[in-house]
Structure 1
């Protein structure tokens, strides 16, 4: 159950963030839906108006790489910060250019942490009891080959979230993670295209055709192309809720798989 909340969502221009924003608004919550790309703002405002939700969804640009955007966001009033924005880099960790790894950490870890620090420090000063939600991933809890860069950023978010849950509990500030499986939103599919902008058969040991086949084989499985409706419906419930689990893996079959993987990790040998 949840009382009426005002929720700030990063990365609400598309995918999970956009559809969950609409779902939460329909449930009576007020939403500040932010988009990283300016060109997404007006179309989202028009869609919100067409749905008759203009009184409950405010659409703003929030480019986390822009310190002035972050400064402006810190003037907004809200009860829940949902760090949903992110990007992903795939490909073999032993060959991926380090500057690409560094950028993925900047977008997925350092920038959300910058915003979160600003928000929670204001809440502590004001005595406000809010909540921070991080969109992690099933990949925040295990590491498949050729996805290591992206999922390592989610491992980092898991660590930050777990630490903050303990650190901020005395102030009444709650922390949660949401860990989606490989739902078919276009996010994972686009991420799988990224290594082909640098992978070179004349230079790299990993061959383009082999990597592409591995990705295509995964996306051809039921686990690699799940209907996102289930995840969106759960996000609509989880994000504004007053109570709930710290970690929220969806669907249940992926939660069971991850628990099994983590148990087997203790017996893993070289």
Structure 2
């Protein structure tokens, strides 16, 4: 009897772009892909912190380089993708949150969140897929979404709207690009202990509410998302597209 073999989770020989790679979840994604063997292009707007990340990855024996990138500009995105060979993996972890009650949300904050979380995600995906199609190669595009793309939350109307929109966008792109071997998915974490979440987690009332909602009884750590992003990037997920991988400790199980 010939037993089936588990597809490889290794990413040797592949090149990945990770946006928002200078901190938090983006940094975790960059480290995870690099540790799995990919050459990782770490992208963010600020050069200083970005280079520190690349230096740390190289010191860890990984292959990485820095790319200063503002994902809000479709023209800049098109230029970056046209100047390089098509990436095998693109992880979009650039995101913005401006939390406020719905009645107190300003038009400026609404536009800023939507511009980063949805508009930029659309044009980044399109630029990545266009390059893959032109090169005649398959690929994996992964967006860091949120559990808030599947539920609502206190003072999260605009953020949740942007992530719900992202989930619909990804499903539609998966339908369009599947014929080219391009997979596109979302990874949806609960609250992860990062600088972005610090203000919320330092509020005792909010922290208690969060831990009550998370069935596993704890806030997520960056390491909790690393296996998921490697899975979605690898051959182990070769039949996975247009879907969301929830890393939420059971928050959305209700």
- Counterpart pick for 1:218 among 197, 209, 215: 209
Task: Establish whether residue 232 from structure 1 lines up as the match of residue 239 from structure 2.
Answer: no
What is the CA-CA distance between 1:121 and the residue it aligns to? 2.0
Going from structure 1 to structure 2, the CA distance change for 1:219 and 1:259 (only over 3 Å counts) comes to closer
In 1: Cα distance, 2:135 partner to 2:31 partner = 29
Pairs aligned (count): 236
Unmatched tracts of structure 2, length 5 or more: 1-7
* Mapped partners of 2:239, 2:194: distance in 1: 25
Q: Which of residues 188, 192, 204 is equivalent to 2:197? A: 188
* Contact kept? 1:84, 1:134, Cα under 8 Å: yes
TM-score for both structures, normalised by structure 2? 0.82
Instruction: Render the CA deviation track for 1:211-253: whole Å, top value 9, x for unaligned.
Output: x6753543565836333322223323333344254221114x4
Gaps of 5+ in 1: 194-211, 261-270
> 1:1-270 counterparts in 2 under 5 A?
1-2=8-9, 3-4=11-12, 5-53=14-62, 56-66=63-73, 69-74=76-81, 75-77=83-85, 78-190=87-199, 192=200, 214-218=205-209, 223=214, 225-241=219-235, 242-243=237-238, 245=240, 246-251=243-248, 253-254=249-250, 257-260=251-254
For residue 94 of structure 1, report the CA deviation from its aligned partner. Answer: 2.1
3-state SS in 2 of match to 1:47: helix
SS in structure 2 opposite 1:94? helix
SS of the residue aligned with 2:103? coil
Contact 1:36 1:61 in 2 (8 A): yes
* Largest Rg, 1 or 2: 1
